[in-house]
Amino acid sequence: SVFTWAPRPHRVDVRVVDGTGAPVSARVVVLQDGKGVDLGPEDGALADPELRDVPTTSIHALAGTGSVLLEPGTYRLLAVRSVRDGLGDATVVVDGPEEVTLTVPQQVDLLTHVASDLHVHSGRSYDAFLPHEVRVASLVAAGIQVAVLTDHNKVTELDGVLSDLMGPTQGGTRLLSGIEADVRKQGRLTGSRWDLGHVNAIPVVPAAVAPFPNLQPDSFGAYYDAFRARQVDHPAPGAGTDLLLQLNHPRGIHFRPEEDPIVSAWPAFRELGFDPGVPLGEGANAWLADQTSPLGTTPFDADALEVLNRFSLTLYEQVRRDWFALLDQGYRMTGTGNADSHALQVEIAGFPVTLVEAPAPVGDGPLDVPAWMAAVRGGRALVSTGPIPEIVVTGDGVEGRPGDVVPATGGAVV
């Protein structure tokens, strides 16, 4: 290979600490004159064939330590961790080797919740490129405590990479091996990237243990049934026969913030013709019977619905309307928000984040996978891009929080 980039002359060592002075992992963004500084060439180790991460403007400071090479000049460094933490901010004048300490204070004490991302891609996905070490580093730097690896139609296991990179405590991050499975139309496959939809199955054993269900199912409901039956026959370590199914980005995908969303990108609700303003099974929603399995499972019988995918508030508003319409008709899918990250900067791991009310791993101990799954399925979760609201509903003498069912005055359920 012929590289076209020469190293910058001055090394800046970065130290990131929390409010107590203890080292903490974070992503450090380098700015000059208010704009991100290009830290690498297009033909470097982190080159993205689809140019999503050009330029690369940040580094990972794992366990509070990182370094960056810069030209002489004045720079602003921002340390970014999670929605529960503040920003570390410092200005540095570079004309030789420098050392900078950035403090990332905890802003929200929400130790009852586990920061989770239920939709993450590694370099094993056909449309992703990150080396495994970099993918893992991005999750640790974002303060993600539970990350579900959901590569396209294949299972990826990176626990060894995480342990090698971060040691016994794994940087506070635990990985679950899931899959993002295509749902393809009946008939001849066209080879098109756009198809009916995507479903995450969490956690699952790889295809080498048992084949995955046919990607061209008779119906959405039959697809769910097939995945659940597979889990019973081939339990996942730590979860047993339990399985979470999440319906992803049902109104399309927003690939780049400066462009419009692609509404034809695996949009299950659009492909099915779901109209949130019409009762299910009636009028425009009469198709429901065709997508219901012999066991009575419908497309809306997933455990979770990805209400917020990446940074798209435009699609979020549409899916939120869909979700509320389904909740009103008795379908209790838990709303989640996930990065769907294939890259480093356009889709930032951990933003948005799903905060799940479940026990966090202690030290180098394991995640209580059944408890985490039960909390997700039970709706005990908050989705955030920054603000973290405390939600309390008061009914007929009863207070309820996310996941609770509260009887209203008069006996109605809200």
Under DSSP, the state recorded for 49 is T
pLDDT score of 112:
92
* Coil, strand or helix at 261: coil
The angle that helices 132-141 and 159-166 make with each other, rounded to 10 degrees, is 70
At the top level of CATH, the class of 113-400 is alpha beta
What confidence category does residue 193 fall into, taking pLDDT thresholds of 50, 70 and 90?
Answer: very low
Q: Once rounded to an integer, what is the mean pLDDT over residues 350-361? A: 95
pLDDT score of 111:
86
pLDDT score of 390:
84
Spatial distance between the Cα atoms of 14 and 121, rounded to a whole number of angstroms: 28
pLDDT score of 399:
86
Residue 189, amino acid = L
Render pLDDT for 278-304 as a digit per residue (tens, 0 to 9). 999 999 999 999 999 999 999 999 999
Other residues' Cβ atoms within 10 Å of the Cβ of residue 327: 14
Render pLDDT for 198-211 as a digit per residue (tens, 0 to 9). 999 999 999 999 99
How does DSSP assign 12-27, residue by residue?
EEEEEE-TTS-B--EE
Spatial distance between the Cα atoms of 176 and 158, rounded to a whole number of angstroms: 9
* Coil, strand or helix at 356: strand
Spatial distance between the Cα atoms of 117 and 136, rounded to a whole number of angstroms: 12
More confident position, 7 or 56: 56
| Sign of the torsion formed by the C-alpha atoms of 345, 380, 242 and 186 | negative
Spatial distance between the Cα atoms of 280 and 328, rounded to a whole number of angstroms: 11
Spatial distance between the Cα atoms of 67 and 370, rounded to a whole number of angstroms: 39
Q: Are 78 and 91 in contact (CB under 8 A)?
A: no
Spatial distance between the Cα atoms of 150 and 120, rounded to a whole number of angstroms: 6
Return the residue matching tokens 């993918």.
135
Spatial distance between the Cα atoms of 4 and 43, rounded to a whole number of angstroms: 8
Render pLDDT for 143-184 as a digit per residue (tens, 0 to 9). 999 999 999 999 999 999 999 999 888 999 999 999 999 998
More confident position, 41 or 336: 336
Residue 225, amino acid = D
Two tokens at 116? Answer: 């989770």
Render pLDDT for 23-36 as a digit per residue (tens, 0 to 9). 999 999 999 999 99
What confidence category does residue 412 fall into, taking pLDDT thresholds of 50, 70 and 90?
Answer: low
Q: Which of 249, 289, 292 is nearest to 271 (CA)?
A: 249
Contacts of 373 by beta carbon, 8 Å cutoff, 6+ apart: 202, 239, 242, 244
Going edge to edge, which strands form the sheet with 113-120?
174-177, 146-149, 113-120, 353-357, 381-384
Return the residue matching tokens 């034809």.
264
Residue 124 pLDDT > 50: yes
What confidence category does residue 47 fall into, taking pLDDT thresholds of 50, 70 and 90?
Answer: low
pLDDT score of 281:
93
Q: Once rounded to an integer, what is the mean pLDDT over residues 299-320? A: 97
CA angle centred on 99, ends 94 and 102, rounded to 5°: 105
pLDDT score of 199:
98
Q: Give CATH 3.20.20.140 domain extents, the chain.
A: 113-400
Report the topology of domain 10-103: Immunoglobulin-like (2.60.40)
pLDDT score of 11:
94
Q: Are 202 and 118 in contact (CB under 8 A)?
A: yes
pLDDT score of 50:
67
Type and span of the H or E element at 403: none
Q: Once rounded to an integer, what is the mean pLDDT over residues 90-102? A: 97
Render pLDDT for 375-400 as a digit per residue (tens, 0 to 9). 999 999 999 999 898 888 887 778 88
* Coil, strand or helix at 329: coil
Q: Which of 369, 370, 255 is nearest to 312 (CA)?
A: 255
Type and span of the H or E element at 313: helix 313-328
Kindly provide the residue ranges of all beta strands, DSSP E only, lying in 55-94, ordered along the sequence: 58-61, 65-70, 73-80, 88-94
pTM of the full predicted structure?
A: 0.92
pLDDT score of 1:
45
- Average per-residue pLDDT in the chain? 91
Of 42-46, 280-284, 410-414, least confident by mean pLDDT is 42-46
Q: Give CATH 2.60.40.1120 domain extents, the chain.
A: 10-103
Residue 27, amino acid = R
Spatial distance between the Cα atoms of 311 and 94, rounded to a whole number of angstroms: 33
Of 7-21, 60-74, 188-202, least confident by mean pLDDT is 188-202
Contacts of 330 by beta carbon, 8 Å cutoff, 6+ apart: none
47, burial (CB in 10 Å: exposed 0-12, middle 13-18, buried 19+): middle
